[in-house]
Amino acid sequence: MSIAIRLFSSISFLLFLAACENDVAVVQRISFEADAPTESTKNLVLTYAEAGYARVEIHAALAETFRGKEQLTKIKDSLKVYFFNEKGDVVSTLSALYGEINYNTGELMVKDSVRLYNHKKKQTLETEALFWNQKDSSIYSKSAVIVRSPKGKIFGKGIRTKQDFSNYVLLEPVGSWQIDKN
């Protein structure tokens, strides 16, 4: 009787092992979604450095990276971008609710409640969408913009500026502004 039990146990075990084999094609069809992100990150901090010093730092609540023809990171649930000068001081801050980093073009596109703030001049740019170009450190928008500062408020149908937001060119400006004699 003990030989029969051992033989039955051995055959049962072998059948169990054979039944555990998965067909790779079936598993991929069940678990792989073509439009799913390659990776997801919570509380992302991405730093762009030059000569060993941080120049730009991106903070995001949730980021999803997609790798395909374009390598793209979609930032959801808010983001904040800090721009630093050569001394390491934060000179301007960009915030928005949504963003996309396109690694192929070197651009960050942000939209929805976009604000760019220059700390020294205490001026704020408000718009619905803008782009930051990593290669030349420029920021531009073709959307309606409002620039607020202690000197007044001015509107435009687009803007071009450097990432520190110290000087800028408004497209089709309208509004009132206090001009210094200097």
**Residue spans per domain, the chain:** 37-177
pLDDT above 80: residue 23? no
In the block, tokens 């089709």 appear at 172
User: CA 119, CA 8: separation in Å to the nearest integer?
Assistant: 79
Residue 180: pLDDT band by 50, 70, 90 thresholds?
low
- Higher-scoring residue by pLDDT: 46, 180: 46
Two tokens, residue 166: 């110290």
Q: How far apart are the first and last CA of the chain?
A: 108
User: CA 174, CA 122: separation in Å to the nearest integer?
Assistant: 20
Question: pLDDT tens digits for 33-52?
Answer: 667 788 888 999 989 888 77
* Rounded mean pLDDT, 85-92: 93
Cβ(68)–Cβ(35) under 8 Å?
no
Which CATH number is 37-177 given? Answer: 2.60.450.10
Looking at residue 18, what DSSP letter applies?
Answer: H
User: CA 137, CA 89: separation in Å to the nearest integer?
Assistant: 16
Cβ(63)–Cβ(73) under 8 Å?
yes
- Higher-scoring residue by pLDDT: 37, 170: 170
Looking at residue 103, what DSSP letter applies?
Answer: T
pLDDT above 60: residue 1? no
| Consecutive H or E run containing 174 | strand 174-177
